[in-house]
Amino acid sequence: MDRLLFIVDEISTWVGKTFGWCILILTFTTSYEVFSRYMFGAPTDWAFDASYILYGTLFMMAGPYALARNGHVRGDFMYRAWEPRTQAKMDLLLFILFFFPGMLAFVYSGFGFAKLSWIMHERSSASPNGPIIWPFKWLIPIVGVLMVMQGIVECVRCVMCIRTNEWPQRLHDVEDLEKIMLKEAEEGKYQVVKDLEKLGQTKGSV
């Protein structure tokens, strides 16, 4: 079961890290625009479109990755004081009541929105350059599907926690633990390795 959960985590992680390069491209394009505008008096006609497309892509594609890492913002001043089983019950309830209806509506509406944009061969009206933007809009339903996939994994984790009162490991917990174990094994600290293996059987992410 853990391996199946980690596969979806790996997909979300790969997507998030891959599209994370958008921030580097965005930094370069914005810097070039400022330099060209104020040093040469020659503003570009594509920088505005590039900036919102790159930022929008980064923002959307990071969503599944943040969910996989349990990194979304939550008001946890009460939540963190609860036992894991209570946390899992609350998370599961909120996923069912709010997350899945919202994400399914996101997929449904986003698909129609993107399809219409593709049929029209829509171009941006925000600048004279007018680049095509229908590929950007197709990211909406794609992200919705990825979020639903990751949400299902999170619900499975909630059910597992309700049964055991311990949060199951996430992919980054396993990766971090493996790095520590390999480092300690190279140094010959075998007793430390045994302790870490024992810790890995009980460690969860809250």
Q: What is the pLDDT of residues 68-113, one digit of tens each?
A: 988 888 777 788 889 999 999 999 999 999 999 999 999 999 999 9
User: SS3 for 114-182, per residue?
Assistant: HHHHHHHCCECCCCCCCCECHHHHHHHHHHHHHHHHHHHHHHHHHHHHHHHCCCCCCHHHHHHHHHHHH
**What is d(CA 67, CA 100) in angstroms, rounded to the nearest whole number?**
13
CB-side neighbour CA atoms (13 Å) of 25: 15
* Separation in Å, CA 71 to CA 67, 134, 167, 205: 6, 30, 15, 11
Which long-range contacts link 120-127 to residues 24+ away (Cβ below 8 Å)?
Answer: 124/49, 126/48, 126/49, 126/52, 127/45, 127/46, 127/48, 127/49
Structure tokens at 33: 């625009």
**Tens digits of residue pLDDT in 15-50:** 999 999 999 999 999 999 999 988 888 888 888 888
pLDDT score, position 148: 96
pLDDT score, position 144: 95
**Tens digits of residue pLDDT in 128-161:** 778 899 999 999 999 999 999 999 999 999 999 9
pLDDT-wise least confident of 4-13, 22-31, 35-44, 189-198: 189-198
Q: What 3-state DSSP class applies to 35?
A: helix
The model's pTM: 0.78
